[in-house]
Structure 1
Amino acid sequence: MPPKKKKGKGKKKGKGKKKDDATLMLEDKYKRTVDEIQALKDHLAIRKEFTRRSVVYKDEMRQRMLGAEDELEDHKKDQKDISADMTRQYKTMQTEMGLRIHQLETELARTRTKLTDTELELKKTKEEKDKKIQDRELTITELKLKMNSMEKDYEACLRQAFDVLVDKVESSKKLWEEKSTTIQAKNKQVLLEFGLNPLEI
């Protein structure tokens, strides 16, 4: 058990101690309050710095956003101009291609017509050539037949002429032999009349 406090002196001492404790508590509370105020000031300063930086960052971001919006607008404008230019170029190219296709189709149709005419002319020329070749071959065949016929006729004529000539020669020979015999007989008779012997002469 704790020792009992003395009355009188103990009361005085307790009151002073109480006062010291209250002062200490008050000082401690004050100190804590000052520390809290300082901490709040530091926190507030940090918050202010953070806010200031946020404002600066926000301004920077706003400037960057405005710059980006300007760039976007410029980009959109450029894109619009490029799109318009490309559309114009595409339409021009499409028109040119349409004209070129029309020209090529016209040229193709003309070429096809020319090719058809050329093919017909070639066919006609070939037919004429084939006909000429056939006519020439027919003429050559006819000429060969005529030549063969003429050769035969000429050969027959020659044979006939030779036969006639042979007959004439034979007739002339026979006639000549007869005349010769007659002449010889006459000569013989004449010689005998003159007294000459033909065998001795």
Structure 2
Amino acid sequence: MEQKLQRERQDHRDIYWDLSRQYKTMQTELTNKVKKLEQEVSQLKEDLALSQEELSIEKSERKQVEQEKDAIIADLRQKLDNMESDYEKILHETLDSLSSQLSATRQGWEDESATLHQKYKELLSEFGLNALDL
């Protein structure tokens, strides 16, 4: 019995030591895993900070580019409006000039026509014909 009890105690001690060894091994592994995960978290936080900084820079650059583009577009629209006004002014001046030239030419033709009519009336009258009868 005593030998059996001794064996039982020895078995308990062996089990205790084996469980203790397994516990320490697991604890060491978990500690190493926690450290590794903490390092990974730290690295990811650094990466996140860098990414956020880059994003902020990109946003400010994009905003600046948009502002520059908007300024260029506004400038081009202003130039286009000015060109439109200038061309409209030139067109009106040209049309007014053409209208004046047409009026002057028309007046010249009317004067010449009246002179010719008078001349032919006189010629008809010299031949004894009345222009209204014809």
Q: Could you tell me the TM-score, scaled by structure 1's length?
A: 0.59
SS of the residue 2:129 aligns to: coil
Unaligned runs of 5+ in 1: 1-66
Within a 5 Å distance, the mapping from 1:28-177 to structure 2 comes to 67=1, 69-177=2-110
Count of matched residue pairs: 134
Q: CA separation in 2, counterparts of 1:102 and 1:77?
A: 37
Q: CA-to-partner distance for each residue in 1:114-168, whole Å, 9 max, x for gaps? A: 2122112211221222122222222222222222212211221111111111111
CA RMSD of aligned residues (A): 1.9
Q: Secondary structure at the match of 1:123?
A: helix
Give, in whole Å, the separation in 1 of the partners of 2:5 and 2:97.
Answer: 130
Any stretches of 5+ residues in structure 2 without a counterpart? Answer: none
Question: 1:70: Cα distance to partner?
Answer: 4.1
> Which fold has the larger relative contact order, with Cα–Cα distance below 8 Å and residues 6 or more apart in sequence?
2
Scaled by the length of structure 2, the TM-score of the pair is 0.84
Q: Between Structure 1 and Structure 2, whose CA radius of gyration is higher?
A: 1
1:9 alignment counterpart = none
Could you tell me how far apart the structure 2 residues matched to 1:113 and 1:193 are?
118
Q: Deviations over 1:23-64 (max 9, x none)?
A: xxxxxxxxxxxxxxxxxxxxxxxxxxxxxxxxxxxxxxxxxx
Corresponding position of 1:8: none
